[in-house]
A and B are shown apart, each in its own frame.
Chain A
Amino acid sequence: MPKKYHISTRPAPPRFRRVGKFGIVDRREDCSACHNCVKRECIYDCYKDEDSRLRKVDAYVDYLYECKSCLSCVQSCTKGLLSRRVNPEYRVLGNDFWTPEIISKTWYQAETGKIPVSGAGYGGPFSGPGFDSMWTDMSEIVRPTRDGIHGREYISTSVDIGRKMPRLHFDGNGGLQDAPPPLLEVPLPVIFDSLYELGVPQSIALAAAGAAKRLGNLSLVPSSDLTESLMPFAEAIVPELDDGTRLDDLWLNRVRMVEIPDGADVAQRLKALKRANPSLLVAVRLPLNRGSADRVLELARQGIEVVHLYGDRRGQEREDVHPRHISRVTREVHLALVGDRIRDEVTLIASGGIAMAEHMAKEIICGADLVGIDMSVPIALECRVCDSCKTGLACPVELETIDLKYATQRLMNLMGAWRSQLLEVLGAMGIRDVRRLRGEVGRCMFFEDLERESFGPIFGRRKTETQAMVAV
């Protein structure tokens, strides 16, 4: 058995105050300073340092941010002076895709490296668009034992990038005709996508590269941003070349993979790059759209070994009218390759809208070999998705000056938490290798299918979405 992969997580507390969901409103002017103050009874000690903090100009009052929302103080205060509100600052975090929940859970994971765990049942919507219309499955009784979650049996999260040959060819003497193409094994089915579209500072690219090197995975960097400071992390860096850009030989010999945009000459470019460095992997970057499946087939037939499909930041196709979700397009691409019996000859990397660990698992179920994450990287470093950087305003969490070591740890924590969650779902499915999860829709249930199979016989046909909206 190979050495067990382990991500070393360590607490990395936030540099700036958290934005908690709930806050307590205190009408202290009516306080009668009674001797049985409920604040002393808070089992989470939210009020512990209230007095000393209130006297400092720059200190914040913890209970506004760290209230756990048990309502005990609110309901017990002798004079009823306390009340609870949703923190207005929390409510305006992010946007409708990068919701306050996703942002605060990402912060938690980057801080602690732990899986978000809570009591009580799930409180969210029944289902939703995109990944929220999928449930992963589990295996009830009849299955082999899988105890990976508690570490007693190893579940592998490694994936291979590159072309896997369907068969070997031998020459007359029984020797191999051609050497097998290079394969790059990454221990985690996640890579850091390039962040240049996001307008985030260079410091973040550096942190992503640093974390990628320690994690053993990859980080994409536009070739124009390849600076000397990134050189120590070269083995984890995937330069993203523009049309016509040539990569400096120094880099070319140290990186393990490069990415080129799709175009008519991809096959020639691939050949040229391979001549310079035969062990180099070349990925083709392809926008997610209506033509993705056909184009991936063409590329695969031309011998392209890795295709990186990228949707927009919300995981939608780059189409103006009725864009489909990345999960659906990936499924289509995967099935096209399966249908053509060349699925293993090309590795699919999918990125865009991968915001939570569950998205990673679900996207792989839909047919990707691995995923790329984008916004999650700055969010792990406390970004508030306020878009200040895009408009040239100062970053409220000073990302440009973030300490590299600290930032690296935050990203490792996030990936540690994601990996643990992947192990949870793999464990529940009775699968012990994430390679086997790819395209395994048998371990997944889709909203449309469940509705049709369970409710169809009872309620008939589902109204189209617009009709349903009217019925509300």
Chain B
Amino acid sequence: MKTEQLEITTEQERLDAIPERKVRAAPTRYRNPVGKYKVWRSNACIQCGKCMQVCLYGVHIKPQGYPRFLPPRDDLCQGFKCKEIGRFCPDHCPVGALRVDLSPMYESLGDYRWTADLILSTWRMAETGQIPDGDLEYEIGASGGGFDRIRFRFPQASGSLHENRGAGDVPQASPPASLQHGQDAHATEVSTAIDLNRRKENDRPRIQIDIPVYGGGMSFGSVSPITMLARARACAAWNTFSCTGEGGYPERLVPFKDHVITQVATGLFGVREETIQRARIVEFKYAQGAKPGLGGHLLGDKVTPAVAAMRETVTGNALFSPFPFHSVYSVEDHKKHVDWVKQMNPRALIAVKVSTPVDVDMVAVGSYYAGAHIIHLDGSYGGTGAAPDIAKKNIAMPIEYAIPRVHAFLQAEGIRDEITLVASGGIRTAYDAAKAIALGADGVVIGTTELVALGCIRCGNCESGRGCARGIATTDDKLVQKMALPWATQRLINLFNAWHIQFVDILSRFGMKSITELRGRTDLLMHLDYDNHTEK
């Protein structure tokens, strides 16, 4: 099977240079795209081309000089919405050769948290860099709690992108030009940047990132080198960060070192003086939301020569990342570690990643006093390459509960404005991110969303056999080749662009000029299950 690769139409870009922050089409790398709707064209088709004229979205394609239509582009079809504007292609077909219906595959996609709509809409954003057309839900999932039941209380007059998009009389394959990044008055005057160093001491650089989002740790081995590089490059393009995870710092990431966080976790794999010294942010990982309190276990089979070299271990030997740091049993111990890193790299900021037990607020305060710049809460519904199901479902609290607790506790302690609070573990959409910020976080960290943008369908088999069948989370030589670096980079750049559009939109509707104004504005939120929920 040959995997179709996107050809980026510009000159061959240098893969070790930071790519441009520019939206370019990056269509699916598979021959048969999956959409919410399916279009069937029967043999009765007389190739008249009427459908092609009617369709606003380019579903029906008959290239110049071809006698017959190509298979319909299901993923572009907007389904029954076209009926409202009289452009439903089956209604126009003179011989009744067309049928449009919900795709039978649609119902087999997704789960409660990542619904089929969220997966498809994230794919769409990664393809186009814009918010999806039609009726794809791209804001919330169907988990029935937390972010999925929280809504923004927007001012009456502000129409949402959601309502404004989609089928109109005018062909609108993309949202109004005014909302596209870089062309809009809003986009230039609304800032989505956040500061990562907010401490009073003036001894370390003031690092700012352009979007309130950075990439979570994914180690060499858990994801493919292409995935790792694509994340680093896309984050560099958007002046934000990605993270090496625990498992070493591959040389190919070095050109992007100003946008790569390096992680120090309990196994200390791949942690060396030079990796600490080249990083602008060093992250201590105490726990991971998907498997808090459990630590990691890399099976012997996965410790290939490359992985072993990177981790400075022996090929074929299982590797444990124990829980917890066996040298940290108090805030003082923790401070000792932070001080070491600070001593080793005088310009690095320190991030501390913890999961969300009931006393997470105390942990956050402790981290501040130990000298951390960023406290990173990883909620219990976060992603992982492999974790026991019992841990993913049950241990520690969802991030929605942890953010307001920690925010309020830091405020009461009088230190809220000296520390950057970032949240992860179930941030799927730009709306989740914005809600997390309104609940009290400064920004968010994402992981799964990036993988979905690269074509992940959340089958959950990351850990079995040769790894990811779609070439995203694997180190298998052959599977890794399923994805090309320029394409993967572009998908992520596009995703960030679509998120940026949504951030700007949300802020504009509230009349805000900066995402920092949104932080802690819980008055702008309502919860459908609470009595503060009012109908619009």
Listed in ascending order, the chain A residues whose CB lies under 8 Å from chain B are 22, 25, 36, 38, 40-41, 43-44, 68-72, 74-78, 80, 83-86, 105, 115-127, 134-145, 147, 149-150, 356-358, 361-362, 421, 424-425, 427-430, 442, 445, 450-451, 453-455, 457-463, 468, 471-472
Whether A450 and B145, one on each chain, are in contact in the complex, defined by CB atoms closer than 8 angstroms, is no
The one of A76, A105, A115, A121 in contact with B383, judged by C-beta atoms closer than 8 angstroms, is A121
A144 to chain B minimum Cβ distance, whole angstroms, is 8
The answer to whether the Cβ of B366 comes within 8 Å of any Cβ in the partner chain is: yes
A–B pairs, 22, beta carbons within 8 Å: A41-B1, A70-B468, A71-B470, A72-B470, A80-B32, A85-B108, A116-B388, A118-B460, A118-B463, A120-B456, A121-B448, A123-B113, A127-B144, A137-B397, A140-B292, A141-B334, A145-B326, A150-B295, A428-B391, A455-B401, A463-B531, A471-B528
The 8 Å CB contact of B322, one of A22, A120, A147, A442, is A147
Q: B124 to nearest A CB, angstroms?
A: 15
In the complex, the answer to whether A138 meets B470 with C-beta atoms within 8 Å is no
Contact status of A427 and B390, CB under 8 A, knowing A140-B357, A468-B529: no
- The one of A22, A85, A121 in contact with B392, judged by C-beta atoms closer than 8 angstroms, is A121
- B485 shortest CB reach to chain A, Å: 20
A127 to chain B: which residues have CB within 8 Å?
Answer: 144-145
- By a CB distance below 8 angstroms, the chain A residues around B71 are 80
Cβ-defined contact, B294 with A149, below 8 A? yes
Q: Is B464 an interface residue (CB 8 A)?
A: yes
**Residues B294 and A427 in contact, CB atoms below 8 Å apart:** yes
CB of B397 within 8 A of CB of A450, answer: yes
Question: Separation in Å of the A373 CB from the closest CB of chain B?
Answer: 16
Of chain B, the residue at the smallest CB distance from A114 is B388
A459 touches B386 (CB 8 A): no
Q: Determine whether the beta carbon of A118 is less than 8 Å from that of B107.
A: no
Q: A38-B1, A137-B358, A149-B294 are in contact. List 11 more A-B contacts (CB 8 A).
A: A74-B32, A116-B389, A117-B388, A118-B392, A121-B425, A139-B293, A140-B324, A361-B394, A428-B292, A454-B400, A461-B530
Asked whether B390 lies within 8 Å of A358 as measured between CB atoms, the reply is yes
Query: Are A424 and B1 in contact, with the CB atoms below 8 A?
Result: no
Establish whether residues B469 and A76, one from each chain, have CB atoms under 8 Å apart when the complex forms.
no
Main secondary structure, interface of A, reads mixed
Within 8 A of A (CB), among B51-108: 71, 104-105, 107-108
User: Which residues on A sit within 8 Å (CB–CB) of B1?
Assistant: 36, 38, 40-41, 76
B527 contacts partner chain A, Cβ-Cβ < 8 Å:
yes
A462 and B188 alpha carbons, distance in the complex (Å): 40
Name which residue of chain A comes closest to B287, CB basis: A140
Interchain CB contact (< 8 A) of A117 among B143, B386, B468: B386
A468 — which chain B residues lie within 8 A by C-beta? 528-529
Given A123-B113, A147-B322, A454-B400, check contact A43 B458 (CB 8 Å): no
Instruction: Select one of B287, B390, B405 contacting A115, CB under 8 A.
Output: B390
For residues 225 through 247 of chain B, which have their beta carbon under 8 Å from a beta carbon of chain A? none
Q: What chain B residues lie within 8 Å of A126 (beta carbons)?
A: 112, 143-146, 148-149, 398
Chain B residue numbers with a CB within 8 Å of A149 are 294-295
Query: Does B290 sit at the interface, judged by CB under 8 A?
Result: yes
In the complex, which residues of chain A have a beta carbon less than 8 angstroms from the beta carbon of B396? 135, 137-138
Q: How far is the CA of A77 from the CA of B532 in the complex (A)?
A: 51
CA distance A44 to B465 in the complex (A): 8
Question: Which of A124, A457, A458 has the most chain B CB atoms inside 10 A of its CB?
Answer: A458
A462 to B149, CA, bound (A): 12
Is B219 located at the chain interface by the 8 A CB criterion?
no
Assess the A120–B460 pair: CB atoms within 8 A.
Answer: yes
A115 to B404, CA, bound (A): 34
Evaluate whether A119 and B385 lie within 8 angstroms (CB atoms) in the complex, with A450-B401, A453-B405, A463-B529 already known: yes
A250 to chain B, nearest CB (A): 42
User: By the criterion CB–CB under 8 Å, are B324 and A141 in contact?
Assistant: yes
Report the minimum CB–CB distance from A387 to chain B (whole Å): 26
Nearest CB in chain A to that of B523: its residue: A458
| Chain B minimum-CB-distance residue to A87 | B108
Task: Find out whether the CB atom of B404 lies under 8 angstroms from the CB atom of A457.
Answer: yes
Q: Is the CB of B394 within 8 A of A425?
A: yes
Set A25, A119, A454: member contacting B405, Cβ < 8 A? A454
Interface size class of B (residues with CB under 8 A): 35 or more
State in angstroms the CA–CA spacing of A84 and B479 once bound together.
Answer: 22
Closest 6 CB pairs of A and B: A126-B145, A119-B462, A428-B293, A123-B111, A70-B469, A138-B293
Taking CB atoms, residues of chain B closer than 8 Å to A138 are: 287, 292-293, 355, 357, 395-396
Question: Which A residues are CB-close (under 8 A) to B161?
Answer: none
Give the residues in chain B near A69, CB-CB below 8 Å.
108, 457, 459, 461
- The verdict on B380 contacting chain A, using a C-beta distance below 8 Å, is yes
A430 proximity list for chain B (CB < 8 A): 293
Q: Are A427 and B397 in contact (CB under 8 A)?
A: no
- Pairwise interchain contact A121-B322, C-beta atoms closer than 8 A: no
Is B22 part of the binding interface, using a Cβ–Cβ cutoff of 8 Å? no
Query: Are A141 and B401 also in contact (CB < 8 A) when A76-B1, A460-B530 are?
Result: no
Do B108 and A421 touch (CB < 8 A)?
Answer: no
Contact A150 B322 (CB under 8 A): yes
User: In the complex, what distance in Å separates the CA atom of A124 from the CA atom of B426?
Assistant: 12
B354 is an interface residue with CB less than 8 A from chain A = yes
Q: Which of A84, A358, A445 contacts B108 (CB 8 A)?
A: A84
B154 nearest CB across to chain A (Å)? 17
Question: Cα distance A117–B387 when bound, in Å?
Answer: 5
Q: How far is the CA of A358 from the CA of B146 in the complex (A)?
A: 22
Q: How far is the CA of A425 from the CA of B149 in the complex (A)?
A: 29
Q: Which of B381, B386, B394 contacts A119 (CB 8 A)?
A: B386
Minimum C-beta distance from A157 to chain B (A): 15
What distance in Å separates the Cβ of A436 from its nearest Cβ neighbour in chain B?
16
| Contact call B408/A358, Cβ cutoff below 8 A | no
Q: Contacts A70-B470, A76-B31, A126-B146 known; A463 to B530 CB distance under 8 Å? A: yes
Asked if B330 is at the interface (CB within 8 A of a chain A CB), the reply is yes
Taking the closest CB of chain B, its distance from the CB of A130, in whole angstroms, is 13
| B116 to A: closest C-beta gap in Å | 12
Bound form: Cα–Cα A62–B533 in Å: 50
Q: For the complex formed, measure the closest distance between the CB of B1 and the CB atoms of chain A, giving whole angstroms.
A: 4
A135 to B391 alpha-carbon distance, docked (Å): 10
List chain B residues, Cβ under 8 A from A77. 31-32
Do B465 and A43 touch (CB < 8 A)? Answer: yes
| A424 touching B531, Cβ below 8 Å | no
Cα-based distance from A472 to B402 in the complex (angstroms): 25
Residues of chain A within 8 A of B459, CB atoms compared: 68-71, 120
Measured CA separation A237–B257 after assembly (Å):
65
Find residues 314-338 in chain B having any chain A CB closer than 8 Å to their own CB.
320, 322-326, 328-331, 334
A189 CB, min distance to chain B CBs, angstroms? 15
Interface residues of B in 341-359 (CB under 8 A from A): 354-355, 357-359
Tell me if A462 and B31 are in contact (CB < 8 A).
no
Please give the distance in Å from A179's CB to the nearest CB on chain B: 41
In angstroms, Cα B203 to Cα A182, docked, is: 67
Among B287, B384, B389, B392, residue most surrounded by chain A Cβ atoms (within 10 Å): B389
Q: List which B137-185 residues lie within 8 A (CB) of chain A.
A: 143-146, 148-149
* In the assembled complex, B281 has its CB within 8 A of some CB on chain A: no
B143 CB contacts on chain A under 8 angstroms: 124-126
In whole angstroms, how far apart are the Cα atoms of A11 and B336 in the complex? 47
Question: How many angstroms between the C-alpha atoms of A133 and B340 in the bound complex?
Answer: 42
Judge whether B294 and A357 touch: CB under 8 Å.
no
B363 at interface by CB-CB < 8 Å? yes
Within the assembled complex, what's the spacing in Å between the Cα atoms of A331 and B363? Answer: 29
Taking CB as reference atom, which chain B residue is nearest A119? B462
Are B105 and A84 in contact, CB atoms less than 8 angstroms apart?
A: yes
Cα A362 to Cα B381 with chains together (Å)? 18
A262, chain B: closest CB distance, angstroms: 33
List B contacts of A40 (CB < 8 A). Answer: 1
CA distance A138 to B380 in the complex (A): 11
Task: Verify A124–B397 contact, CB threshold 8 A.
Answer: no
Residues of A within 8 A of B113 (CB): 121-124
